[in-house]
């Protein structure tokens, strides 16, 4: 079966399920179809942290797995989303060790992608999965949109960050990382980056 290479094109709050996120994968070539996958908050956080190159105060489960695998000279070569049954995606990690032995390990798709970003390995699927669940967007359509649970709460939080000094924001960032509140930490980091640019 022909494989289709995918890349992460977006991560947003799910419109359909409370407390869940929509991870959007897209074809790197061809029709540019999108494959939306609903994942949990923890997995979304694990993917976002690695994409944003943030360093948590303690290793997350996926970081622990990577350290463990590297300690035994195991590498993940590819993540393959190989099936879709009743709306559930199935994935495998294709790994090899220092002796060249290749092993395929079954994994939840969200965990597999969290590991793919850490090992910097390709994410692939098959054409029949994209044909079944892929969405073709217009060229000018946006792929993802932030969908906060409460717009007013988010606005209030952003205004609150604007009122704080850079030093206060640095302290808040450290506290958020220590408390493993990575969503809040990313907002603080964005505000600090905005201040550096201006």
Whole-angstrom distance, CA of residue 87 vs CA of residue 98: 36
146 part of a folded domain: no
145 part of a folded domain: no
SS3 state of residue 171:
helix
More confidently predicted of 178 and 196: 196
CATH number of domain containing 25: 3.10.690.10
174 part of a folded domain: yes
E strand or H helix that includes residue 176? helix 166-178
Q: Percent of the chain having pLDDT more than 90? A: 43
Domain count, the chain: 2
Q: What is the pTM for the complete model shown?
A: 0.69
139 part of a folded domain: no
Question: 31: which DSSP letter?
Answer: T
Which pair of structure tokens corresponds to residue 115? Answer: 């590991």
Residues 6+ apart with CB under 8 A from 66: 115, 118, 119
Q: Would you say 187 and 161 are in contact if contact means Cβ atoms under 8 Å apart?
A: yes
| 144-188 pLDDT tens trace | 433 333 333 344 455 567 778 888 888 887 777 776 667 667 778
138 part of a folded domain: no
Q: Percent of the chain having pLDDT more than 70? A: 82
The verdict on 89 and 8 lying in the same domain is yes
The verdict on 21 and 100 lying in the same domain is yes
Q: Domain of residue 156: give its range.
A: 151-197
163 part of a folded domain: yes
């Amino acid at each position: 079966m022909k494989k289709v290479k995918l890349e992460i094109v977006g991560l947003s709050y799910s419109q359909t399920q409370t407390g869940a996120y929509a991870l959007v994968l897209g074809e790197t070539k061809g029709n540019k179809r999108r494959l939306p996958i609903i994942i949990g908050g923890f997995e979304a956080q694990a993917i976002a942290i690695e994409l944003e190159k943030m360093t948590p105060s303690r290793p997350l489960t996926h970081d622990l797995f990577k350290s463990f695998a590297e300690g035994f000279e195991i590498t993940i070569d590819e993540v393959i989303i190989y099936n879709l049954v009743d709306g559930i995606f199935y994935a495998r990690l294709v790994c090899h060790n220092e002796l060249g032995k290749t092993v395929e390990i079954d994994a939840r798709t969200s965990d597999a992608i969290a590991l793919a970003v850490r090992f910097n390995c390709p994410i692939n699927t098959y054409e029949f999965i994209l044909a079944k669940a892929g969405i073709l967007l217009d060229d000018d359509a946006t792929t993802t949109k932030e969908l906060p649970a409460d717009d007013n709460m988010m606005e209030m939080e952003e205004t609150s960050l604007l009122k704080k000094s850079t030093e206060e924001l640095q302290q808040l960032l450290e506290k958020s990382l220590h408390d493993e509140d990575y969503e809040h930490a990313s907002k603080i980091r964005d505000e600090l980056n905005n201040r550096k640019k201006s």
